[in-house]
Amino acid sequence: MRCVHHAGYLLGQHKCRVRHDRREGRRPDRRGVSVETPLTDALVEQLARYRPERLPAGAWDVARQCVLDWCAVTLRGAVEPAARLLREECLPGRRNDGGPCCVAGTGARTDAVTAALLNGTASHVLDYDDVSIRMLGHPTVVVWSAVFAQAQALGCSGEQALAAFIAGYEAAAMIGVLLGPSHYEAGFHATATIGALAAAAAGALLMDLPPERMRCALGLAGAQAAGLKSMFGTMAKPFQVGRAAAAGVLAARLAQRGYSADAAVFDDPQGFVAVLGRSQLPPSAWPWCPEPGAEIPRNLFKYHALCLLTHSTVEATRSALAAHGVRAQDVAHVDVHVTPRHLGVCNIQDPHTGLESKFSLRHAVALALAGAPTGNPDFFTDGNALRPDLVALRAKVRVVGDIPGPETSVELVTHAGGRFSAAHDAEAPATDLAAQGRRIAEKFHAVVDPLLGQAAAHELEGAVAALRSAPDLSALAGILGKEKAA
């Protein structure tokens, strides 16, 4: 069905004479024939399947890992100017305005929408948060920022919050698959666009909205879905993420109040998928709905405060050193083999700034050889980009784009002529969730201990571990909301 377009068409409020029958999720077409809205139906039905009793243990484990990782990057991000300036704008002179929601890293409490905006922005400032390859984005900073705020405002239990988070996480993955890579390739910032809908889905589940209201929540999120990749490298990138979290919260809350919206935002010929996604929609049902809880274990965490595409190189270099007992000073040169697509992203030959040093495969090898604290975001200063020992080490590195996959292979050649190889794929999900948990805890303490002190950091870790049995989110919020950030 194609609408008639004309300059004057915008001049009325009617939508091509097509009105939705919002209760049935169907609409009459121009001739009054009822047509189906299968995509929106499918997602709404899928979301109804996210009941706590249906979710597997691994989903709960990874959800808690996501929350712990979020606590670390949000508390640390809250100190940065992009987070501070936004707080100064949004909370002028009312650091404790009596709202129900904590602003992480500060003593401020505010309403759910503002808290989601501020926490969502802070959590993505470092770009050190987790990743969903299916979403082509960062799910937790949007979805948990929204759920955390909403759950406090509603007085939800920890289990309700975690279950809604798992649903929102997997909704983001599902919407990512539906849109396909062309959405991101066209220049949309998928974390922000898809994130708004995923956050709305999670928020609507927390409110236990009926299907017809869930549709409107998704529509109201689609009405707000924005974000451009041209903002990458500026404060507007995390701002877009915070906006998406806030949009999701506002969408769910307005939908609960009876606000109307396009109730078939995935199907409408001028809706979210048609306008922001690829033009060719799948013909009928949603292309992919996982078993609830089956997708979140595929989440990718970042352990190095570097571009993720350099992570395989860091890990492979470390493996080659450790497995073969090679010392850094014995290394004469290093060959790095990556997929050619990485060369345009993170192959800066001689980085001069802290930011550039995060996008240099050669520098990544130098960091691994030198045993540098790659998990510490404070390490990536301009000074360390030019530290003489690191510059000398990276001079030994040659990068070749000659392998197909995401797995990166590193070969160390010693002065004695020995050749020692290792490979790693940082885009492969962890198979050992316990080991993953230990690495996240290590990152957490490296980031949070200097901010809160060891005792409070330990307390926060415990609150996350106990989240599923917590009656509400006040314990978590109490520690996150201790006055700290400047």
* Token pair of 426 as six digits: 């940082």
Cα(121)–Cα(465) distance, integer angstroms: 24
Binding of a copy of itself by 389 (CB under 8 A): no
Contact 419, 413 (CB under 8 A): yes
Binding of a copy of itself by 243 (CB under 8 A): yes
Binding of a copy of itself by 184 (CB under 8 A): yes
Phi and psi torsions of 175, nearest 5°: -65, -35
Going 459 to 60 to 428 to 342, the CA torsion angle's sign is negative
Cα(26)–Cα(19) distance, integer angstroms: 9
Cα(30)–Cα(289) distance, integer angstroms: 31
Ramachandran region of residue 6, left (φ > 0), alpha (ψ -120 to 50) or beta? beta
Binding of a copy of itself by 181 (CB under 8 A): yes
Binding of a copy of itself by 81 (CB under 8 A): yes
Stretch that binds a copy of itself, among 140-148, 232-240, 367-375, 413-421 (CB under 8 A): 232-240
Positions 143 through 162 that interact with a copy of itself (CB under 8 A): none
Going 438 to 443 to 444 to 450, the CA torsion angle's sign is positive
Contacting a copy of itself (CB under 8 A), which of 48, 79, 223, 413? 223
Residues whose CB falls within 8 Å of the CB of residue 93, separated by 6 or more in sequence, listed in order: none
Q: Residue 55 CB, nearest distance to a copy of itself (Å)? A: 26
Binding of a copy of itself by 1 (CB under 8 A): no
User: Could you tell me where the DSSP H helices lie in 225-271?
Assistant: 236-257
Binding of a copy of itself by 403 (CB under 8 A): no
Binding of a copy of itself by 265 (CB under 8 A): yes
Contact 241, 120 (CB under 8 A): yes
Q: Residue 424 CB, nearest distance to a copy of itself (Å)? A: 13
Binding of a copy of itself by 23 (CB under 8 A): no
User: Could you tell me where the DSSP H helices lie in 395-472?
Assistant: 433-452, 454-465
Positions 351 through 370 that interact with a copy of itself (CB under 8 A): 355, 358-359
Cα(270)–Cα(180) distance, integer angstroms: 18
Q: Residue 247 CB, nearest distance to a copy of itself (Å)? A: 8
Nearer to a copy of itself, 288 or 459 (CB): 288
Q: Residue 337 CB, nearest distance to a copy of itself (Å)? A: 16
Binding of a copy of itself by 486 (CB under 8 A): no
Stretch that binds a copy of itself, among 71-79, 251-259, 412-420, 452-460 (CB under 8 A): 251-259
Contacting a copy of itself (CB under 8 A), which of 262, 295, 315, 335? 262
Binding of a copy of itself by 257 (CB under 8 A): yes
* Token pair of 387 as six digits: 């530290």
Which runs of E-coded beta strand occur in 235-391? 331-338
Positions 107 through 126 that interact with a copy of itself (CB under 8 A): 111
Contacting a copy of itself (CB under 8 A), which of 232, 333, 378, 400? 232
Q: What is the largest CA-CA distance in the chain?
A: 81
CA angle (386, 131, 46) in 5-degree steps: 170
Binding of a copy of itself by 57 (CB under 8 A): no
Contact 62, 299 (CB under 8 A): yes
Stretch that binds a copy of itself, among 64-72, 204-212, 215-223, 412-420 (CB under 8 A): 215-223
Binding of a copy of itself by 127 (CB under 8 A): yes
Nearer to a copy of itself, 89 or 432 (CB): 89
- Partner residues linked to 410 by β-bridges: 336, 422
Q: Residue 217 CB, nearest distance to a copy of itself (Å)? A: 11
Binding of a copy of itself by 35 (CB under 8 A): no
Positions 270 through 309 that interact with a copy of itself (CB under 8 A): 270-272, 274-275, 302, 306-309
Q: Residue 286 CB, nearest distance to a copy of itself (Å)? A: 18
Virtual CA dihedral for 208, 209, 210, 215, nearest 10 degrees?
-140
Q: Taking each helix axis as running N to C, give the angle between helix 236-257 and helix 211-224, from 0 to 180 degrees, rounded to the nearest 10.
A: 150
Which runs of E-coded beta strand occur in 48-166? 101-102, 109-110
Binding of a copy of itself by 260 (CB under 8 A): yes
Binding of a copy of itself by 33 (CB under 8 A): no
Nearer to a copy of itself, 302 or 482 (CB): 302
Stretch that binds a copy of itself, among 178-186, 287-295, 432-440, 454-462 (CB under 8 A): 178-186
Contact 153, 112 (CB under 8 A): yes
Positions 455 through 474 that interact with a copy of itself (CB under 8 A): none
Q: Residue 354 CB, nearest distance to a copy of itself (Å)? A: 12
Positions 314 through 343 that interact with a copy of itself (CB under 8 A): 341-343
Please count the residues of this chain forming the interface with a copy of itself, following the rule CB under 8 A: 96
Going 121 to 125 to 131 to 135, the CA torsion angle's sign is positive
Binding of a copy of itself by 133 (CB under 8 A): yes
User: Could you tell me where the DSSP H helices lie in 155-226?
Assistant: 158-179, 182-185, 190-206, 211-224
